[in-house]
Structure 1
Amino acid sequence: MLSPTSRHNVYKQMPGANPFKVLDNSDIFLIRNKEKERRKLELQSQLSLRVHEKVTYAGRMKAKQGDLLRELREGLEEDTAQPGGEESSLAQQQNTPAWRVAMIKDRNIDKESMNEFITKKREMFLLEYSLAVKRGEIEQLEKMATGQERKLMRAERFLEDDAIMFDEFLKENDKNSVEAIKVAELETKVKLEKVTEIKRLTTRMVTIKSDISKFEDIIKEYTMYKEFLFKLSPPEWQEAQRAKGKTPKANSTTKSATKDKSKEKDKDERATPKRGVESRASFASRELPPLRDARAPSRQSIVQSDKPSPVAELETDSSEYEEHPELYFTDPRQLLELLSELEEQNLSLIQNSRETEEALEVFSKVMDHTRKKMELETVQLTQQIDIMTHTIQRERDRATELELRARLFNFGKYKSADQEFMLDSLGAKVEEVYRSCVGDTEANLSTLQMLTVIESRLGELLENVEMIPKERLLMAERTKEKERRLRLRDEKMHQAKQHQEERLKRALERAQADIKKTTGKKLMARSQPPAGKLKTSQVYDISDKEKEEQLYFFT
């Protein structure tokens, strides 16, 4: 539970709080914590005081009573600031000696010096003077408040007048809006009627256009048939029809010239009334913009119709040579016979075209195959050329180096007779190789010529190797490899036999040789110094996984 003083302190710290209202649980705990902190601070301050500065329990209680009296005095001063008749009574009560005695009844009056008494009196005078000044300010503020209240009353009156005027304005606005809605409804009715009329006309136009397009398609089909029959007719008849069409054309040109002159005269006579009609039409177009917009597509269709269509061109072309359509074919059987002939020709042409296409496909396949083969051969040949050029260059470098070494090695040692003998032996070996590769020849060839022939023969054989099937080539390689292994085994066996014979011969010689008696001490090999042990530092190898983890987490 909280003490009365603590409650009083709490309500003092919380201005505007109602002291007669039960606080919430959260507020009670907050107040309790604050009271504990305040008591702790007071205890600490009391402990930090010196001995002569400390106060007993009775002194602390009197100090609390003095605080309460001070707060009471402050509350009374606030009550004096309130307007009304209570102000004079409170002031008289405060000035009475009994009230003052009651205020200082519980005080511990000590002896005071003259200076302290004067200072206190001076402070009391200053306080009374400040109270008087504050009372005057309060009166001035009350006067200002009354003036402001009057102004507010006037402003409220003006606001009421403005509200009345605004209500009248709203009523007039409502009337105008009702009238505008009626006018808008009438206009929408008229607009809907016009829209329905426009839709009806547009649907009629669409149906007319669809009929026109159907008739145009029929005309195109008939003109196509007509042109087809005209082209099937013999050329003499076509020329005759064209000649017939030229004579009426000249007559029509003379007639059109006279008609143009008469039309020009009529235009000059009717120029003035047309202007009035045009002005009226422009005025009507200004009055009715939606109808003008609706008729725009029809005008475009008229413009398009003014342009010469392909059907009209065909008609003019066909009408150049005839006024009344005439046909060369009088009997349908003629057409059927002609069509059967054309069909036979078409079939023969189709068959020829298929045969040519098949031949062309075969030719294209052969060409592709040969082209691929030639490309592959060219690639192989280029590779062989590169390899041969590299080998030639390498052999040339080697030949020059060997020649230089041979000169340095054979300088002054061998004689010309020995060299000629060596050349003859090499020539004999080359001739033997030539006979085994090429065969016997009646012509006497030199050693270099035989070498060139052998080289060319070797190139041809290498080229032919590519043409040989891989299976045969593998079989030949296996047989050669088998022969080589057998030859190597025979050579190894012969070498082992020779080695065994040499060993037996040496053993026999050792057995038949005289025994040599050793005299003196046997020679000993020099002893090596003891090898020192090297201290090997233990190196802990880190596995690859640990290295990867270190690189991932620490870099």
Structure 2
Amino acid sequence: RQFLALPIDKKTTRIARMTTELGEQDEKIKERKNLKQIKSGTVLPKQTSIGHELMKAMRKQGERSGRLSLMEKRAEFSRLDKANKRKEKEVDRLENTLEREELQLEKLLRENEKKSVEAKIFFERKTKSKQKKEAEIKKLTAEIGAPFISRSERIKLQEVMIDYNKYKDLLFELSPPEWQEAQKAKALKVQSDGDPEDKQVKGTEESDEPELFFTDPQQILDLMTDLTEKSLFLIQNTTTVEETAKELRKSLETTKQSRTVALAAFEQQTSSFVPPLAQKDAMWDALGEKVGEVYRHCVDGQITNLNTLEKLAHIENCMALLLQGLDNLPEEKLTMMKMIMDSEQRSRYVSVSRRGSRNLLKDHAKWQWDYSITPRVLCIAGFFSPLQYIVSKRDNKNVCC
């Protein structure tokens, strides 16, 4: 940092600094040797020759380092000179631009001053001419004596007339509808009757003195207070209606959300119900076919267009008749049938025991119990239901109904 802070003439390279230090040390050594030689009076030729060679080498190195440092300094000086020249050129260019801008500003200011002076003179002339014209117009109007209205006054009067017409229309609208209808009828009568000259005269009279429903300004104030109260009431009603509408919208949104949730749940339920419903439909179809077969075997063998419920009703009627017939049977026939059943059971038991298997005996006995002639006997005896009997006989293909 100290080296960087130094000026350019005092900055040197490391080699130059080392050479200067070595030169100073050599000079000190030579001075000491010279003092010793003077004191001793003897000088060694070898030592002096070596010292001279070292001094020459050190001088050469110092010269080289000095040349290098000079070259570096010259390069730095040339670079700095170029940079200074560039900056001077930029400064000159900026000064020239500033001078030009100052000249342009001065020109603009002079032109503006001239224009302002000219405008002031022109305005003063115009004002003077206008004042003269106004004075002449006033003199002429005073000399003529006729009522003369200027253009600005006409415009003001027209604006006042427009405002008064608005107020008139407002008062006409505030008046009761019956009075409005009467005024309209009068206007129609005036238009239908009379000459155009009379109409013009009447119109001028009406325009001078218009008819009004309100005779006292207090009536208008009272009506305005009533209207303000009504408007406030309507505003309150609108606020309440808006609040209720917001609540209804919220409730509708909630109901829509609940409906969407319910519909999703219902769709899930229906999707879960579809396979069992199909199974139930298949089961009901199979039961309907079985009922039709039972109906054909027991009631009527012809094809009919009856429903399953109607077929079941016919079958129940037939079964009721059969049960009544069974109740009317005598006890002797029942005992005889029981004996026949016992004998058949014994014969089966004997045939199965010969085979040597009781398990087969049970299964075979059950099977023979359902699909042999014994159900007929049991049905008559009361140990077997008539429907099972009919089904067993249908399977056995021996209908006895």
Do the structures match in fold with TM over 0.5? no
TM-score by length of 1: 0.21
Kindly indicate which of the two structures has a greater share of residues assigned to helix: 2
**TM superposition score normalised by structure 2:** 0.28
